[in-house]
Amino acid sequence: MNLRSVDAFLDVVRSSGVEESLAWLNSGVPHRFSAIYRFEGALLRNEFLFDKKGAARPDFLLAVPFEVSFCRFALRDGSFRTDNSAADERLRGHPYRGVVVSYHSVPVMTPDGDLWGTISHFDTEAIHLEDEEFELLKAAALELPAFL
């Protein structure tokens, strides 16, 4: 039995809520952070953040201008993955290149098909995300709107 499945994710979100389900998603990846951001005009607002170190949410993660976010690439392309933004030529000249180093994200849509936000795993270090975990992130993003 695969314990890392969308059904297992749904069990957690139904029984314990979105915050715990984000922590559960993060437990299967090496990344320090997992987050859910909501679009709010020209900003992305952090709604949920899990930090493996348990630190208070850093101010720079509270709200991010959409135009300089990596989330905009997830929206444009349907997903965005980089294990090392500092070495990623797609991000040449980007202000967060080498700051948010590892970033893997997918959009979260409303039940009506409108864009709600994004869900992501990220870190300040170069970290690879296994394809299976990225597929689980995508599956979780499809289910999340019912709980937001």
At which residue do the structure tokens 């020209």 appear?
42
Does position 89 have pLDDT exceeding 90, yes or no?
Answer: yes
Handedness of CA 97, 98, 99, 100 (dihedral sign): positive
Say if CB 64 and CB 41 are below 8 A apart: no
If you classify domain 6-147 with CATH, what class do you get?
alpha beta
Please choose, from the candidates 100, 82, 93, 86, the residue with its C-alpha nearest in 3D space to the C-alpha of residue 44.
Answer: 100
* Mean pLDDT along residues 91-99: 91
Strand partners, 123: 102
Residue 2 pLDDT grade (very low, low, confident, very high; cuts 50, 70, 90) = low
Which three-class secondary structure state does DSSP give residue 114? coil
| pLDDT (0 to 100) of residue 1 | 40
Handedness of CA 22, 39, 125, 77 (dihedral sign): positive
- Sheet-wide strand order for 102-109: 63-65, 43-51, 33-40, 115-123, 102-109, 80-82
Q: What predicted TM-score, i.e. pTM, was given to this entire model?
A: 0.92
Q: What DSSP designation does 83 have?
A: S
Strands (E), 1-146: 33-40, 43-51, 63-65, 80-82, 102-109, 115-123
**19-66 pLDDT tens trace:** 999 999 999 999 999 999 999 989 999 999 999 999 888 777 888 888
| pLDDT (0 to 100) of residue 74 | 92
Does position 117 have pLDDT exceeding 90, yes or no?
Answer: yes
Say if CB 83 and CB 91 are below 8 A apart: no
Residue 3 pLDDT grade (very low, low, confident, very high; cuts 50, 70, 90) = confident
